[in-house]
Every structure is written in structure tokens, then in C-alpha cells.
Structure 1
Amino acid sequence: MKLANITLAPTIRKYNKENLVHDVITGLIIMAVSIPISMGYAQIAGLPAVYGLYGSVFPILLFALFSTSPQFVFGVDAAPAALVGSALLGMNIEGGSKEALAVVPVLTFFVAVWLFAFYLMHAGKLVNYISEPVMGGFITGICTTIILMQVPKLMGGSAGTGEFLELAEHIIKAVRQFNMPSLVLGSVSLVILLVAKKLVPKFPMAVVLMVLGAVLTNMLPMTAWGIKTLDAVEPGLPKWNIPDFTVVPIREVITISLSVAVVIMAETLLAENNFAQKNRYRINDNQEILAFAAGNMAAAFTGCCPINGSVSRTAMGEQYQGKTQVMSIVAGLSMLILLLCGTGFIGYLPIPVLTAIVISALLGATEFHLAAKLWKVSRTEFFIFAGAFVGVLFLGTINGVLIGIILSFSEMIIRSSKPARGFLGIQPGHRHFRDLNESSQIHAIKDVLIYRFSSNLFFANVQVLQQDIEDALEQKKDTKAVILDASGIGSMDITAAERLGNLYASLKAQGVRFYITEHIAGLNEQMRKLGLGYLIREGCVRRTTHIALKDMGINRPYPLEDGVDNEERSASRKRVDNRVQEFVWAFGSNSEDEIEKQIARQIEQLKKSGDMEKLLHGSWSHMDAFDEDEWLEHLEEHLKEIVNISGKDERTLAARLEEHRQEVHDRIAQEHPELAQRFKERRHRLDEHLKERRPDVYELVISLRDNKKKEE
């Protein structure tokens, strides 16, 4: 399997220097807020807190190298950490133990392998089937979950874990034991951030608050007041090691790592696409999966837990106008410098201040405004949003996504089963068919039902089509034809094809003609494969509704019901209705073979009836002029066979066919002079074709033409 084309550092190429200041400041802020988040999630995953900082260096740098998203940030995050932590508990491994330090990198390695497999399988295309309400509900659910996790830290407690019920229980406990100085410091910081976001959105208030927090810790007895600060970390970089694959059964690791990889792919891709749509740029879903795999492989070799896209840090980057992955590179390199020579600073950062910064960013990433909009314009899509939101909040990330997808597909099926449809007519003096319900001036064509169905035809909605037509026939007993305007039908399934065949048989038994018109040529191929090719062969499938009416002998101006006058009101020249050959449109690359088959059937009919007129047109009466000319050319190839059956003189019959072809040419030259040259060039190609297949007939035809010229 070949790897797709990969572009390295796509968001940094042709870098605009004007973005540098914003990217650097944003990168520093992301590094700072990553410290408490990463350390906390590393502990949830069963690792020492410092591994959260290790996971914020090389994985972020590698992700930035491959990612096509200019603003998304990678890092140690909630969902993968919680899954790994619960997996360790299931294996009876104590968090922070030597065994945990050995097992977690193995899990991370196989997560990276799964993600690389997803990249090879182009699994990123699955995101195309997830609607905006699902994305909005999903991202809002994640943001709300993380906010609820962080709330206890504002009050001096620890971060919560789990879904809504567990988080609510943890918040209640934190309220009972809250620390007033922590609550005041955190609340004041949050208010300042929210006000600054409104008044001075471009000002890096988060950096100012972190510096002020460190100064206050150094000047005031913060610890004595019960205000927690981050734990001090020993300086030094992570060591690169190959994971020990013997510490845990591979079968168990593969199962656990698959679920983690699916969560990382689904959660991160959904969030990335959400930010991309909101900020009007495009990402390469498949290369993003490769970026996930690269970041997690780096995490595995540095002993870290699986790494995920971070909504909170991305929201922070968006707030402070980070424009490219330079901000991720700055965040990774500044974390590296911090680990080497600045870990002492970490111990001075107050947790309530950092928590307020995270919550402020997450509040800006929620999409409750989308829910309010959906409530006004589409209650169905609102409930899809709510389903994804509640699913994430109460059942976790992957279940929330699954609920949203199920709701989306259910809504799509329900909508497709009740498509836009209606019966068509014409406004007197006009030529275009329009919905009868559109205006009282639109009238149905006498004795004809024209029915438009605007949806792909499948098992869930074909009954609607059949019922509509049957109900209309009950009301109009004198109906002579039903024309299905299939311009909105792009495909049909086998159930729909069977029902359509039954409808045709029922109409035929009642003496009512049936046509399918206006659809794309590809639908004809589907119908042939589904066993409806006989409708095409019998002339029931026509390119336009006008041609179908003409086939019935109904010409413009069409007679309308109730004797309504429909005289043409324009003196403009007759419009060209048949610029495209119908046979090519209907049968595609098989058009020549199909003409031959139809002529063979007509020759068999000639043996029985002796009717030469039917032979000239076949079941496709009122053909396009180009089609008619080609039909006659094919008949010339069968000249000797027709002579033997009919008993007519060969030269007389050839002259009759040539005379008919000349009539077609004259009609084209008179009605549509702009097509005459094209018709002449095509006639030459057909002659060459005849010369190649039947040189004897060709010589006869040429001699007839020469004699005609001499007579003129």
C-alpha cells in the first residue's frame, strides 16, 4: 500500500512574519497552561506528574511538523489518560508504580501503530459523515466536561474524573470543603479574564495573571492560607527508550490500545474540523491521523501516556490569535527549556489562577449559541446537538460521538423518506414545468400526470412515490400517461427498482403510458443493472419531459386542463431541445450496441408485419436528429438483410434511406443552422464507419448521392 503524499510543516511554509509576535506569545501561554493540565492528566494515566511535561515537548513538536491545522494543539489530555488509567486498574497495576511506568509506554506504542493503520486505511473520511450539530454538541460536551473537572480546583480541591454524575458528586464534596482564599483568587482571576476578553481581546491577560500569581506566591503566605501551587519538578529531559513489550500480554494491549486510538482519532478529528469550519480553512483529515501517530510514537519512546488533541489549549490559542503551528513549536521548545533550567518557577504558580485561565478558554470554545440557533430553525437538528452533548457529558467521549452519528443517520433517513415532491404543470404561454401548488396560474397538461420526486429512491421512500401516483390516478380517471421527473433522483436501490417495475406493469395494464425523464445518465446504468433495462429499450426512459410528451404526439403549445388557453406568447425561434443525443445519454458507451440490438428486434418484427415505417424509427419515435441519422446509418449496414425480408429492390431501398437522411439534414439546417456544420462533420464520420464495415453498401450510397447531385 502506497503512502499518500505528505507535506511537512504545511502551516509554516511561506510564513508571514506579521504572525510571529502572536504565535510566540500564544505558544508561551499554551506552555504555561499545559503545566497543570499535563501534570494532572499524567497522574490520572498512572504516571508521575513530570511525565505530563515530557509529553508536552517532543510529541507536540512532531505533531506541529505534520499537522495541516494551523491552530490545533496536541498534548496530554483527559480522554486517553482516563482510558489508560482505568485499563491499569483493570490489570491490577498501581498508578505511579514501576510496573505502570513500563506498561503505559507499551500501550502508547500500540496506539501509535493503530493510528498509523487508520492513516493507511484513509479512515479520516469517516468525519465527512458527521454533521455540524453533532460536531457542535460533541465539542460543547467536551468543553463542559473539562470545565466541571476543573471547578473543584478553583475552590482548593483536586480535579475530578469520569462523567457528569461522578463530576457532580466530586464538586459537591469540594463545595463542602472549599478554601475561601482559593475561591476568591480563582473567581477574581476568572472575572478579570472574561472582562478582558470582551474589552481587550488581543491583550495577553493570561500571561499577566500567571506572573502576578507567581509574584504573590513569593510575597505572601499563600500556602498558609491554603492556596495550592504546582508541585516542584526535578530538572532534566525525558530519556528515550524502546518500550519493553514483555511486561504485558500483547493480546490485551492490542484491545486496549485500539479503543484509545479510536477515541483519539474521533475526538481530535471532530474538534479539528469544528475549529476549521468556524475559522474557514481546510485540513487534510488523513494527514492529521499521521500527525497523531507521529506524536504518539514520540510519546511512547519517552515513556509517556497516549497524546490527544487538546480543545482547551486550542481554545487558548484561538483567544490569543495564534495563527500557525509555530505556536506549538514555541510551546514545545519553551517547555524543553523549562525542564532544563526553569522547573523551580513551576512551584510558584497558584493552581486557582491557572484553573481560571483554562476555564476561560473553554467557555469561549463552547457552542451553546449554535444550540440556540438550531432551536429556532430546526428542532430535529437541535435534538441531534443535544444528543451528542448529553452523550459526551453523561456517557463519555466515544459514546457521545456514536449517539450523535446514530441520530444524524436516523434524521437523514427520516428526511429522505419524506422528500420534496409534487405534480407539475405549465403557466399558459410559458415552456417550463413548475409545481402546481406554486400558483393558481399553473395548470396541469390535459390527460397527463407529471410528477417530480426530489430524492434518491430507496426502500424507505419508494412507497411514497407509488402512493402519490396511485392516489392521483384515482382522482384523474382519464389519465393517459404518467411522467416521472427524476431530475432529483441520483440513485435507486433494488427495492425501489422492483417497486418501479411493478408500477410500470400496473400502469401498462390500465392502458396508461409511463415515462422517466430529466435524470442524469448514470441512473440509466443503475436501472439496467437492477433489471429495469427493458424500460429504456421500450422507450419509456427519455431525456426530457418535452420529448416524452412529443413521443405521445403532444406538441407545443401543450393542451391544458379545463380548456385553458395556452397559445405561445413569444415570437422567438423554437428552442433546441435535443442538443445532446438521447441514445448516448441513455445508454452511455453502449449506445451503438444498443442501436444494433433495437434494429435486430425491429427486423424480427419486419419479418412478421412487413411494416417498413416502424423499422425507420423503432420504439424510439421522435428521436433527436443526430440519433435518427445514426439509426438510419445502422439500417444501411443491414440493407441486404432488409431487402431479403421485404422483397424490395436494393437500390430503391437505399435511396429511400438516403432520402430520409437528407430530410433530417435539411430539417436541422432550417430549424437549427448553428448545428448544421456539426451535423455535416458527424455525417462524414458515419460514412467512414459505413465504408469500413460495409464497403459495398457505401459504394451504393455514394453513387446515389452523385446521381442526386447530377440531377440537381
Structure 2
Amino acid sequence: MILGHTIKDYKRENLLHDVITGIIIMAVSIPISMGYSQIAGLPAVYGLYGSVFPIILFALFSTSPQFIFGVDAAPAALVGSALLGMNIQSGSKEALAVVPVITFFVALWLLAFYLMHAGKLVNYISAPVMGGFITGICSTIILMQVPKLMGGTAGTGELLELLEHIEKTAEQINLPSLILGILSLVVLLAAKKIMPKFPMAVVMMAAGAVLTQVLPMKEWGIKTLDAVAPGLPKWSFPNLMLIPMDEVVTISLSVAVVIMAETLLAENNFAQKNGYRINDNQELLAFAVGNLVAALTGCCPINGSVSRTAMGEQYQGKTQLMSIVAGLSMILLLLFGTGFIGYLPVPVLTAIVISALLGATEFELAVKLWKVSRTECFIFWGAFIGVLLLGTINGVLIGIILSFAEMVIRSSKPASCFLGIQPGHKHFRDLAESRQIHEIEGVLIYRFSSNLFFANAGVLQQDIEQELERRGNIKAVILDASGIGSMDITAADRIEILYKSLKEQGIRFYITEHIADLNEQMRKLGIGYLIEEGCVRRTIYIALKDMGIKRPYPLEGGVDNEERSASRKRVDNRMQEFVWAFGSDTEDQIERQIAQQIKQLKQNGDVEKLLHGSWSHMEAFDEDEWLEHLEEHLKEIVNISGKDERTLAARFEEHRREIHERIMKEHPELAQRFKERRHRLDEHLKERRPEVYDLVVSLRELEKRKDME
């Protein structure tokens, strides 16, 4: 729980800000909660009840230091419309009994989402979607509040309904109410610019209460909040049999999805903006606990509040202590201060809400996106307009669809380039970087920097084929797949088509530089034979070496490429390429290939071919392990070839010495590592084939005596 951490490491300099902000949030929650409670079909006082225990319980479980929970627009509107669909009159005894049942099932759904770890779904929603969503929510709530400035009631629904309600309210506008509301808004916005740390909202509420006392506000038609009876909410378990199960499950599911999507999106938006992280799944548990308490106290479903959170941010609330203060302050108000509520002018409170919401909009993000990425800018406006026109959930869905569409479009145009080498240097670089970088003669090296799937596989094939036409006289194509982490079956088919096409033209094809997991994917997708045929190599250097091209590489146009000093050479066999290529299947793959070689031995009797394996041009460490596996089949090879067992074992040891000498010559720094690895392989052979191990050891002892003589 974040509260325990907050108290344990609490910074005393935050205390004043948290307390003041908590009181402001309590005061601002009064008109918001009372209004939305009535929209949900409950008496206004239940909005205040929803601002007590749910907000405190949410603070105990939430991982967000600043987000505020409370009665809010979207869930209230959904519940209100559900009551209309069930022919239940708003504010009736039936509504008082039914709404907590819906809230209870909302809590159960949110708990189910928590157990299913559904919070991770928010990771698939991009920043433009979040920005458009938050801006759309803020703009919707502002449009809901505008009629209250003119002396009317809050609007409901989406953009068209809200504009229609504003138009009707404007026909019966109360001028004193509008003047008071606009003056309050101007003062709040000016104070935010001039002295942002000053709690002007508290001053405005106090001033509004004083004006109600000294001026004939009611005679002028300026509305004040309705007075409520003092006392705390009563606790009771809702009667779950009041609504048919299929009906309540459907209604509560839609409300729970809205709460999850809207609140998680808003929480992550504030978290990214202020540089902290939240636990999305833990937040779902906090939502569930808050709504469970709301159900037990007779309230409508509770949601995360963007307007109250924006207010908390404006007045520098730092921790969930402000939520605790807000909840406790509401208790004191319900017990001792309900008379004060009747003195608060609605236009002043509405101006406070609008001021906070204007600060939470992210139109500046849209301006930034327009300069950086027009596509992402359109996604922002798509989410924004979707929320305004179609509501919260549809707006989120539109934004997600646009995000995925943008991802597919971006992936279909991946970064790619053709590589060459600068004379005297060892690294392959983009040919477009400099005129000093040249292509290797007869070799086309192509880097593809994206996961390979149906939308971009054709780009890879097309780029390579067009470059082949341009250059001509190409002997090999090397694909630098360092940027490819995965491929789908369509991409695998394209790779196979490309490989067969190149093979028909007498052009060799290599895939290099990728992670080992891609090899496993290739095997599953049916193109694992490319690995067995030696077309998949660990590095570009090894692929070139396999073709017989060594440093200094010959460059196109006869450009001189002088070799660098030996100390600067790249060691290209620092790990076993066979193990890299076949991963956990290495042992079985070696055994399968040896079995195939032994089968061929029965036909051609060529023992020497066994020593080098069927996988073309193995590196030294791979050859050594191949020999170790061959030694386990020594008796079988003897029976097939008819050769003497000792003679064959001696040939294996001779080949091993050749490998060791090659390593000493080319890469002396790896010689000790080779010895250590040889010891491990010997132990393995001793365990698996002790009789062969004894024969090999006797041959080595004999060789040592000869060397001493």
C-alpha cells in the first residue's frame, strides 16, 4: 500500500500543501458529487457519501500519489440511463435500492479484472491516445458545466446533446449568474498565471458564501447548492435479488469497463506527465475496494476524477494524504457543517471546476505532434473527437484502433539500408552515410530494422531484388537481421521465395546478426532447413568467411582496402555458432546430423567427411564438439567402415590437434579457453563412453611420449 510508504518516508514540507489541497478537493467535490449523484438517480446527499469512505479506501490501496477517486460523470450517466431502461424513477425508493446492487456488481467485475491482470491492457495505448482521451473527457465535462454558469442544470450525454442543452439554457439565461461565473473564472485563471501556488479556490468559495449572506442572490436568480441533512451514511448490504441476474451483470460490466479504461488512462497520463510509475493491476484492486465500500453505503459506482486530480495538481498536493484529508473533511462537513453547503453559489463552484479542467487539457500535445508526426496528431484528434461524439468507451476504442493502424503503417515502412565498409575499418556501415563507405565486391549486404511480418515482408524482398538489378554480378546476399526479433508465417514464406529465387540465379543467401530465438521461430515456421544448409550465420564476418572472402575485403571499383593490425582484428568465433543457431535443440541436432552422415558412410565409405560435419564450414569450437559426439559412435563407425578402432581414434585426435593449432595461430587469446572446454568435453565422454575415453587418453599419452623423444 502506498499510504504506508507515504507515512514512513513522509516529507514534512509536503504536509501543508496536502492538507490545504485535501480541503479544496473536499469543497470542490460538493457540487460535483451532488450533481452526478442526481444524474445516477440518487438524492444529492449520496454524492457526498461517495466522497467519504470510497476516497479514503482508494487512497489506502492506490499506487498513484496524486489521483483522486469520487463520484464522476461517465459511471453516473450509465447508471442513470440503466434506471430509465428499467422504468425506475430517479430519486425513488426503488432507485435507492437498485443503484447499490449495480455498484456491488461493478466492484465484483473490477475485482475479476484485477485477478485476470487486465491492467496490462493499458500498455497498448499510446501517448497520443491518452492525450486525446483526457482532453476529450475534460472538454466533455466543461461542456456539461457551462449551462450551470448560465443558471441552468448540468448537461448529459455526448457533444450533440450537450450543445443542444447549452442552446436551450441560453434561451433562458440568467445574466447575474453568468456574470458571477465568468468573473470567478477570470479571477481563477489570472491567479493561476500570477500566483499558481495560492489557494484561490478556497478564497472564492469563502467569498461566494459571504456574498450569499450580504447580497440578494436568490432574488437575482443565482442558484446555491441544496442544503442536506446532517449525518453519515448508513451501512447495509444491498439486496442482490432486486434485479434479474443477466440484466445486472450486463449493466455492471459496461460500467466496470468504463471505470477501468477511463481511470487507468487518466492515471497513466498524470504519471507520465509527473515522472512516476503506477502499478496498473494494483489500481484495479483499489477501484474494486472503493466501489465495494460505495455499494455498502448506498452510493452509485465511483470513478477516478480528472477534474479533482487536476485541482490537486494545481495546488501542489503531493501524496494520497490529500485524499485522506478530503475524506475526513467531508465527514466533519456531514456531521457539523451541512448548513454551510446551502450558502455556496453554483456559478462560483462551476468556475472552480472549469478552471481545473482547462489546466488538465493537452491541446499543446496536439500542437507538438503536428510538428513531429502528423499521423500521431490525427490519432490524438481521433481519440478526442471519439470521446466527444461517441462517449468514453467508443473514444478509447477509436484511439486504440488508430494506434494499431498507425503501428502497422509504421512497421510496413521500416528503416532499412545497404551496408558497406570504409577502407581500413572493420565495421559495416550504411552506404548512405559517406562516400568513403564502399560496397564489398560481389556481395550485397542489407540491414532490415523491424520485426518481419505480413505488412513489411514484401518491402524486404522488393528492396533486395531492386538492388540486385541495379548492381548486377552479385554472388551473395547477406541479410543483417539484427533488428528482426520475430517473423510471422507470411514473412517466412517470403524469405523462402527469395532464397529459392536467389539459388536459381546462383546467388548465395545468408541471414546473420540476429538473436538466437529467431532461429527457433524459423524452424517452427518451416524454414529451419536454411540453418542446416548453412544459410544462417551468426555474423556478417562469418558469412563472408564461409564464402571464402577474408580481410581485407575486396571493395567495388578496385578501391584499396588495407588490412588493419592483427591486434585490431575482430574475433568472430568467441562463441559456438552451432549452439547459437540451434539453441536448446543443439545436442539432438548434432546427433541427427551424425546419424545422417553415418547413413551416408554406409554408401560411400568416406570416413574423412565425418570429421567436418554436414553443417558447412564449422567454427573451431563447433568442430571440436562434433568430434566429441563422433567419438561416442566410434564402434558403430568401425563396424561400418571396417577400419581399425585405434586408427580411427588416432585420426580424431590428429584432427583435434589441427583445430587447436588453428586457434593458436588465428586467435591465441582463445587457446586457454579451448583447453578448459576440452576438459569438460572429456569428462562428458568419460561419463557416456568410458571405453572410448580410455582409448583417447592412451593415444594422448603415446603422443606426449613421442613429443618428448
TM-score (norm 2): 0.97
Match of 1:458 in 2: 453
Deviation at 1:563, TM superposition (A): 1.7
* Distance in 1 of aligned mates of 2:701 and 2:608: 26
Q: Are the counterparts in 2 of residues 10 and 68 from structure 1 also a CA contact under 8 Å?
A: no
Shift of 1:336: 0.8
1:436 matched to which residue of 2?
431
Residues 1:623 and 2:618 aligned together: yes
1:76-101 deviations in whole A, cap 9, x for unaligned?
00000000111111111111111111
C-alpha separation in 2, matches of 1:415 and 1:661: 51
1:483 is aligned to 2:517:
no
Percent identity at matched positions?
Answer: 82
Aligned-pair distance for 1:30?
0.2
Quote the offset at 1:502 in angstroms: 2.4
1:55 touches 1:76 (CA, 8 Å); kept in 2? yes
Q: Write the letter of the residue equivalent to 1:692.
A: E
- Aligned partners of 2:613 and 2:626 also within 8 Å: no
RMSD between aligned alpha carbons?
1.5
Pairing of 1:555-704 with structure 2 (within 5 A): 555-570=550-565, 572-704=567-699
Q: 1:215-254 alignment to 2 at 5 Å?
A: 215-254=210-249
Which residue is equivalent to 1:306?
301
Render the CA deviation track for 1:364-413: whole Å, top value 9, x for unaligned.
10000000000000000000000000000111100100000000000001
Supply the distance in 2 between the matched residues of 1:586 and 1:247 (Cα, whole angstroms).
64
**Which stretch of the first structure deviates more once superposed, 177-186 or 132-141?**
177-186
The aligned counterpart of 2:86 is 91
Does 2:116 correspond to 1:132?
Answer: no
Tell which deviates more after alignment, 65-74 or 431-440.
Answer: 431-440
Q: Which residue of 1 aligns with 2:162?
A: 167
CA distance in 2 between counterparts of 1:74 and 1:667 reads: 71
CA distance in 2, matches of 1:247, 1:685: 74
Do the aligned partners of residues 219 and 267 (structure 1) sit closer, same or farther apart at CA in structure 2, a change above 3 Å counting?
Answer: same
Instruction: Give per-residue Cα distances to partners, 1:319-340, cap 9 Å, x unaligned.
Output: 0011111100100111011001
CA contact under 8 A between 2:2 and 2:65: conserved in structure 1? no
Tell me, what secondary structure is at the counterpart of 2:623? helix
**Hey, what's the Cα distance between the residues in 2 that align with 1:567 and 1:643?**
49
Pairing 1:207–2:202 present? yes
Cα distance per residue 1:611-639 (max 9 Å; x no partner) = 44432222333322221211122222222
**May I ask how many residue pairs the two structures share in their alignment?**
707
Select which of 371, 380, 385 maps to 1:385. Answer: 380
Closer/same/farther in 2, CA of residues 165 and 573 from structure 1, 3 Å limit: closer
Task: Report what 2:38 is aligned to.
Answer: 43
- The corresponding residue for 1:532 is 527
Counterpart CA distance in 2 for 1:124 and 1:488 is 29
CA 1:449–1:189: 2 relative to 1, 3 Å: same
Match of 1:706 in 2: 701
- Separation in structure 1 between the aligned mates of residue 89 and residue 283 of structure 2, nearest angstrom: 33
* Equivalent of 2:542 in 544, 547, 560: 547
CA deviation after TM superposition for structure 1 residue 424, in Å: 1.5
AA partner of residue 116 (structure 1): L
Alignment-mate amino acid for residue 615 of structure 1: L
What SS class does the counterpart of residue 135 from structure 2 fall into? Answer: helix
- Alignment of 1:59 with 2:54, yes or no, is yes
Amino acid at match of 2:321: V
In 2, distance between residues paired with 1:315 and 1:91? 35
TM-score normalised by the chain length of structure 1:
0.97
Q: Following TM superposition, by how much is the alpha carbon of 1:14 offset from its aligned partner in structure 2, in angstroms? A: 2.2
Describe the SS at the equivalent of 1:403: helix
Listed as ranges, the gaps of 5+ residues in structure 2 are none
Kindly state the Cα deviation for residue 11 of structure 1 after the two structures are TM-superposed. 4.2
CA distance in 1, matches of 2:328, 2:198: 23
Indicate if the aligned counterparts of 2:213 and 2:343 stay in contact, CA closer than 8 A: yes
Task: Please give the secondary structure, in 2, of the residue aligned with 1:541.
Answer: coil
User: Is 1:30 aligned to 2:25, yes or no?
Assistant: yes
Deviation sequence 1:653-682 (CA, Å, 0-9, x none): 322221221222233334434333222111
1:512 is aligned to 2:507: yes
Determine the C-alpha separation between the residues in 2 that align with 1:407 and 1:10.
Answer: 39
Residue 427 in structure 1 maps to residue 425 in structure 2: no
TM superposition shift of 1:445: 1.4
CA contact (8 A) 1:11 1:68 kept: no
Select the residue among 56, 69, 93 that pairs with 2:64.
69
- 1:272 paired to 2:272: no
Aligned pair partner of 1:121 in 110, 116, 121: 116
Task: Give SS of 2:416's match.
Answer: strand
Which range moved further: 395-404 or 618-627?
618-627
Q: Matches of 1:565 and 1:124 in 2, distance apart?
A: 59
d(CA) in 2 for partners of 1:436 and 1:672?
A: 30
Contact 1:537 1:598 in 2 (8 A): no
For residue 567 of structure 2, give the secondary structure of its aligned residue in structure 1: coil
Cα distance in 2 for partners of 1:478, 1:392 equals: 58
Change (3 A) 1:89 1:37: same
Structure 1 residues without counterparts, runs of 5 or longer: 1-5
Runs of 4+ in 1 over 6 A off after TM superposition: none
